[in-house]
């Protein structure tokens, strides 16, 4: 199809992005590994506390109504 450019990964100039482009990137040092940043996973504690507070508020308002 010959529709690739340097920006889209055609680093050997043949207008196609192929595995040869990746080999060139590794050989020339153009590939830089970026360390993944650890993202804390939600553990549900905040949701649990919020739910318990909501239940307590509802129970308290029901008790005050009677």
What is the distance between the alpha carbons of residues 33 and 56, in angstroms, rounded to a whole number?
50
CA angle 47, 48, 53 (to 5 degrees): 100
* pLDDT confidence of residue 22: 86
Does this model's pTM top 0.95? My answer is no
Half-sphere exposure (Cβ direction) of 18: Cα atoms closer than 13 Å: 8
pLDDT tens per residue, range 8-57: 888 888 999 999 988 888 887 766 666 666 666 667 888 888 899 999 99
Give rounded-to-5 percent helix, strand, coil for the chain: 45, 0, 55
Q: How far apart are CA 33 and CA 17, in angstroms?
A: 20
């Amino acid at each position: 199809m010959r529709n690739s450019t340097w920006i889209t990964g055609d680093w050997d100039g043949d207008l196609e992005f192929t595995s040869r482009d990746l080999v060139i990137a590794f050989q020339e040092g153009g590939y830089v590994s970026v360390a993944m940043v650890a993202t804390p996973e939600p553990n549900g504690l905040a949701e649990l506390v919020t739910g318990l507070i909501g239940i307590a508020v509802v129970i308290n308002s029901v008790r005050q109504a009677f």
